[in-house]
Structure 1
Amino acid sequence: MQIGANYIENGQCEFTVWAPLRQALTLEIVSPQTRSIAMTPQERGYWQVTLENISPQTQYWYRLDGETLRPDPASHYQPQGVHQPSQVIDHSHFAWEDSNWQGIPLSDYIAYELHVGTFTPAGTFDAVISRLPDLQELGINAIELMPVAQFPGSRNWGYDGVYPFAVQNSYGGPEGLKRLVNACHQQGIAVILDVVYNHFGPEGNYTRDFGPYFTDRYQTPWGSAMNFDDACSDGVRNFVIENALYWFREYHVDALRLDAIHAIYDFGAKHILAELAQRTQEFCQQQRRQVYLIAESDLNDVRVINPPEIGGYGIHAQWSDDFHHCLHTLLTGEQQGYYQDFGTCEQLAKAFQESFVYSWDYSPFRQRYHGSYAGDRPPTQFFVCSSNHDQVGNRMLGERLSHLVSFAGAKLAAASVLLSPYMPLLFMGEEYGESAPFLYFISHNDPDLVEAVREGRKREFAAFHSEGEPPDAASVETFQKCQLNWEKRHQGKHQVLLNWYRHLIQLRRQHPALQASDRRRTIASSDEEKKLVFLHRYHPSSAVFCIFNFNQQAVSYTFSDGIWKQKLNSEQSQWLGSGISILEKANQGDTISLPPQSVVMYEK
């Protein structure tokens, strides 16, 4: 069932809403002229009415049982925010110019995560367009937008959205997002959209007034779980599936990043993710266009990405948190929270080899066994990163990795991600060592809710009070501190780091062995005493051998086979390294000295 206000043509619009527990629904047109129309009940709790003489700018409410006025849960636009009427949108009139866009295979993605509000001073979709040439020059071919579904106010990470179909008004609304996607496709860049199907935000969340969107059977860190397996759950499942298809169909989005699927609970015979994957595949066949689903999950469960024929959900890819945690702990030495489960070179080698470090191994942090074996899944089903919005923004002071490690460490982190067999993900600004933090920020209108957020942040970081109070999430200044300083990318070390990233991306694209995505052609190992990680990647025509030195001291390595020619060296003066000479050609038995936190790659 297609829900929301679906504008057909010539002033005709079909309004459909799911409200299974209501006895009567009235559509209240409030602009440009007022009208009240009783809606007709349909099967399984849907209400519907089709009207003539409706303009695309028409604003409306739903009146529930003759009393309460509420916006449309499937509203396509909330021009005045989360508490005001919904607006009809005519999606057919936008002049798309991407008919020649064939998309990019997921295995070729080099993704760049960004927050629309802080990516530019203007904080709009149109302002992002002006930066696309810079990303294209870097080598980025896919941008991942943090959630853009309507949230309260104008400052928010996006995970407090309450209208999953409505594009944030302060970012530029539906037209702005379409212009951005259109421009991306014209410049050869795919668009990944972050969507949240595990919870709704607290302010403006009126969906409970319509029906059982939530269940008390399960709890998420953000409140009641979405109802995917309890009574009347078919309406909730339809809501989510229609939302996913809506982004693909009306906004030409190429992929969806599914937020925190470990907080999506469904013990029915067909998991909602499996049904979503099935419906997405049907869409691909009908449209003759490939789109993708990418899961964020800390379950380390290959059922998420396994194909349906062997009992999996059929999601195309997922993030690998283990890779990030290994890399972060080796570079920073941090051991608090879940980082206590990581910190060895052997673990990073396992992440290079198998994706998951915990594959039914005992986790001290969780105090239980965790994960499943992923070494038989293609590397192209995993995204890896050295930082993302969560890993930066959930720190009390929002410090980026470049704040926590040396310049050499930043180069080492970049090489670890971009020379891996997985799809790389960069977080906005990391490519030039952005100095601005990425903090948690909100602009809720409810003063009690704002105070609850403040107190919650203080409790969360109680152990860090010696470092001061957490920044006020509701402050405009907190938000403004997070805006990128684009001018730095052309200055000093920032420019060198940018060139380093660009060079790594070029190597990744051009070298046959770095393009290979077969597990059998990747071999990783380590030397724990010297803090070295070794990565061999093979292709029938060539091979590369990467040595990552995570030691704070210089260490030696002796080649055991072959004749190797140096292809990459982070210590060269052009990368502001030590300038220490490392053998350009290495034969069996030759020994090289590796400076602290350095990386070198050889080929044969």
Structure 2
Amino acid sequence: MSTRTHTFRVWAPAAEQTVTLCLGDDALPMTRTDDDWWQLEAPAEPGARYAFRVDDGEERPDPRSLSQPDGPDGRSALVDLGAHQWSDDDWRGVPLADAVVYELHIGTFTEQGTLDSAIGRLDHLADLGVTLVELMPVATFPGTRGWGYDGVDLFAVHEAYGGAAALQRFVDAAHARGLGVCLDVVYNHLGPSGNYLPVFGPYFTDAHHTPWGWAVNLDGPSSDEVRRYLIDNALMWFRDFHLDALRLDAVHALIDDRAVHFLEQLAAQTDSLSEVLDRPLLLIAESDRNDPKTVTDRGVGGTGGLGLHAQWADDVHHTWHVLLTGETQGYYADFADPEAITKTARTPFFHDGTWSSFRDREHGRPVDGDTTPGDRFVVSLQTHDQVGNRATGDRLSHLVSPGRLAIGAALMLTSPYTPMLFMGEEWGASTKWAYFTDHTDSALAQAVSKGRRAEFAEHGWGDEVPDPQAASTMTDSVLRWEERDEPVHAALLAWYRELIRLRRAVSDLRDPSLTSGRAERDGDLLTVHRGAHWVVANLGTEPTRVESGLHIVAAFEASMDAGGAVVVDPDGVVVLGPRSDHERI
């Protein structure tokens, strides 16, 4: 029986004398190359445990480890990414223009909390009409439960979720159902515990700072290899895991003073791989800058934008949230402006060079609606951030009536933007979704629990905030799939399914043009014009009669009276269109 050999390599410019490969019981000296990479070929099978020792230091996992069976502090394990037998040869990807995104957290999506168990719910998503499933981060982090934004082994899939092979199975199963897969990746920082990258080299710099401490070294000495580390990570997900998109966390914290920004370089190499693979590969940014250059083309000579394919548009979320809930605290204050709902119907940035009271300064830049389509902006009613960062993790379903949930769904799913749902939103899930952690460093765990409570105590919510470290905080956030069959939940689920179907069937309702639609508000009556179609919502407490000459295409708490007018009940919403379209669909 032959034994495989494996070439072990690690970039370690911090090593002054030696790098040692710790493989099994052996300690093997590695050879340094001219570019500060150390390498050694040795017999090793998939599953073999190994680590590196820099000079006389302690064993540390491989910065490019594909598996951490014992967590970030343990040895790495070899993985053969070519072992999976893919069945998606005919898969051609998900164009951005057709995307309906569904954000989920593997640990709370099912009771088992694994990638394999999540496969059992993919039929639900396909039936709903979703086209792109967005997974919150799966990079290995300390403990077993968490949101994933404190990952420290960027190439390794979290063991509690099933590891690398389970992610490959999940993607393959999704593609078999016509679903693309997007992965949330965090390149702007690493978690505070289990981060051993500085042992090997200058992955971080104190020249810049982020809310999480030192910034990733994208523009200082030796930053070429740091950029390569992150770009190789992105390309690996596309190439070896067959992913269709990456959601890039907080790109405004990727501070880079070089002439060619890291994101521009990443976009260029992603587009090149897309041509090789012959399918769309999407980069979707989370950005706080309200700068359309994030998603405009790079242009000739690199003088245009960054060339990412889409970005989240939180201003639209904030506008809808204030409209539906009436909440105006914190950053919601500016969106109480009556003009917010009409403005965000034609541009994703309410703040486009205007004053932001939350920031105490002007913010943003206008979007050119003639050249930038609306589908480059991902909009939502709920996200992990907007739900989980509330004191108790209350969803929109805990704040408003089912009718208002239906209004929000209609506004989102008939908008010119790319819609994104948060798991369970489609049936108004009753479970809260709170902030939870499982830090293995006791001092850090205590600090997080104490800090979370103190953060909300000043608002009078301190005693209500669940302890992030308590196991129950996560288990209480797990979806209850059985409630989909209860009448109120089933009605909302049917409404979401119908709206997504209509979005696909009616060109007006998926038109990404930012110049062809408009919104009008007359007291409690909101009307959004989408080509020849109207979306009419009644936010008041009395029924409202609408004379339009149009016919009902879809309705939630609305009907047509004997005189041919449409009556929209309180917290009701209706999609209206020409009779020809009504009969056709």
- TM-score band w.r.t. shorter chain: over 0.9
Amino acid at match of 1:412: I
Q: How far apart are the structure 1 equivalents of 2:464 and 2:410?
A: 35
Q: 1:345–1:526: 8 Å Cα contact kept in structure 2?
A: no
More off after superposition, 548-557 vs 120-129: 548-557
More off after superposition, 368-377 vs 457-466: 457-466
- Is 2:584 aligned against 1:598? no
Q: What does 1:69-468 align with in structure 2 at a 5 Å threshold?
A: 69-309=59-299, 310-376=303-369, 377-466=372-461, 468=463
Structure 1: any 5+ residue segments left out of the alignment?
Answer: 1-8, 573-579, 587-591
**Residue in 1 aligned with 2:519?**
525
**Residue in 1 aligned with 2:583?**
none
SS at match of 1:409: helix
Q: How far apart are the structure 1 equivalents of 2:474 and 2:497?
A: 29
**Residue in 1 aligned with 2:493?**
498
Q: 1:27–1:60: 8 Å Cα contact kept in structure 2?
A: no
Q: How far apart are the structure 2 equivalents of 1:211 and 1:24?
A: 14
Q: 2:19–2:38: 8 Å Cα contact kept in structure 1?
A: no
- Kindly state the Cα deviation for residue 196 of structure 1 after the two structures are TM-superposed: 0.2
- Kindly state the Cα deviation for residue 161 of structure 1 after the two structures are TM-superposed: 0.4
Structure 2: any 5+ residue segments left out of the alignment?
Answer: 579-585
- Kindly state the Cα deviation for residue 462 of structure 1 after the two structures are TM-superposed: 2.0
SS at match of 2:345: helix
- Kindly state the Cα deviation for residue 524 of structure 1 after the two structures are TM-superposed: 1.0
Q: Which runs of 4+ in 1 moved over 6 A?
A: none
**Residue in 2 aligned with 1:4?**
none
- Kindly state the Cα deviation for residue 167 of structure 1 after the two structures are TM-superposed: 0.3
Q: How far apart are the structure 2 equivalents of 1:550 and 1:493?
A: 19
Q: 2:552 aligns with which of 548, 566, 571?
A: 566
Amino acid at match of 2:294: V
SS at match of 1:202: coil
- Is 2:472 aligned against 1:481? no
- Kindly state the Cα deviation for residue 557 of structure 1 after the two structures are TM-superposed: 5.0
- Kindly state the Cα deviation for residue 25 of structure 1 after the two structures are TM-superposed: 3.8
- Kindly state the Cα deviation for residue 250 of structure 1 after the two structures are TM-superposed: 0.9
**Residue in 1 aligned with 2:505?**
510
Q: 1:355–1:375: 8 Å Cα contact kept in structure 2?
A: no
Q: 2:406–2:556: 8 Å Cα contact kept in structure 1?
A: yes
More off after superposition, 294-303 vs 40-49: 40-49
Q: How far apart are the structure 2 equivalents of 1:72 and 1:463?
A: 43
Q: 1:75–1:87: 8 Å Cα contact kept in structure 2?
A: yes
- Kindly state the Cα deviation for residue 545 of structure 1 after the two structures are TM-superposed: 1.5
More off after superposition, 363-372 vs 465-474: 465-474
Q: How far apart are the structure 2 equivalents of 1:298 and 1:582?
A: 46
- Kindly state the Cα deviation for residue 273 of structure 1 after the two structures are TM-superposed: 0.4
- Kindly state the Cα deviation for residue 10 of structure 1 after the two structures are TM-superposed: 6.9
- Kindly state the Cα deviation for residue 227 of structure 1 after the two structures are TM-superposed: 1.1
The structure-2 alpha-carbon separation of the partners of 1:513 and 1:217, relative to structure 1 and needing over 3 Å to count, comes to same
The structure-2 alpha-carbon separation of the partners of 1:299 and 1:531, relative to structure 1 and needing over 3 Å to count, comes to farther
**Residue in 2 aligned with 1:38?**
29
- Kindly state the Cα deviation for residue 47 of structure 1 after the two structures are TM-superposed: 2.0
Deviation per CA, 1:193-227, whole angstroms, max 9, x where unpaired? Answer: 00001100011111111111111222222222111
SS at match of 2:403: helix
- Kindly state the Cα deviation for residue 334 of structure 1 after the two structures are TM-superposed: 1.1
SS at match of 1:570: strand
Q: 1:524–1:533: 8 Å Cα contact kept in structure 2?
A: no
Q: 2:391–2:461: 8 Å Cα contact kept in structure 1?
A: no
The structure-2 alpha-carbon separation of the partners of 1:512 and 1:477, relative to structure 1 and needing over 3 Å to count, comes to same
How many residues align structurally? 572
- Is 2:4 aligned against 1:11? yes
Q: 1:107–1:423: 8 Å Cα contact kept in structure 2?
A: yes
Q: How far apart are the structure 2 equivalents of 1:266 and 1:556?
A: 55
Q: How far apart are the structure 2 equivalents of 1:545 and 1:132?
A: 32
Q: 2:537–2:568: 8 Å Cα contact kept in structure 1?
A: no
The structure-2 alpha-carbon separation of the partners of 1:346 and 1:599, relative to structure 1 and needing over 3 Å to count, comes to farther
- Kindly state the Cα deviation for residue 348 of structure 1 after the two structures are TM-superposed: 1.9
SS at match of 1:191: strand
Q: How far apart are the structure 1 equivalents of 2:442 and 2:542?
A: 52
**Residue in 2 aligned with 1:549?**
538
Q: How far apart are the structure 2 equivalents of 1:99 and 1:107?
A: 22
The structure-2 alpha-carbon separation of the partners of 1:407 and 1:234, relative to structure 1 and needing over 3 Å to count, comes to same
Amino acid at match of 2:206: D
SS at match of 2:336: coil
Q: 1:565–1:584: 8 Å Cα contact kept in structure 2?
A: no
Q: 1:48 aligns with which of 33, 39, 43?
A: 39
Q: How far apart are the structure 2 equivalents of 1:532 and 1:362?
A: 28
Q: How far apart are the structure 2 equivalents of 1:372 and 1:247?
A: 32
- Kindly state the Cα deviation for residue 27 of structure 1 after the two structures are TM-superposed: 3.7
The structure-2 alpha-carbon separation of the partners of 1:210 and 1:552, relative to structure 1 and needing over 3 Å to count, comes to farther
- Kindly state the Cα deviation for residue 50 of structure 1 after the two structures are TM-superposed: 2.8
Q: 1:261–1:295: 8 Å Cα contact kept in structure 2?
A: yes
Q: How far apart are the structure 1 equivalents of 2:235 and 2:444?
A: 33
Amino acid at match of 2:168: K
* Aligned-pair Cα RMSD in Å: 1.8
Amino acid at match of 2:428: G
Q: 1:113–1:425: 8 Å Cα contact kept in structure 2?
A: yes
Q: How far apart are the structure 1 equivalents of 2:449 and 2:81?
A: 39
TM-score normalised to structure 2 length: 0.94
Amino acid at match of 2:538: N
- Kindly state the Cα deviation for residue 536 of structure 1 after the two structures are TM-superposed: 2.0
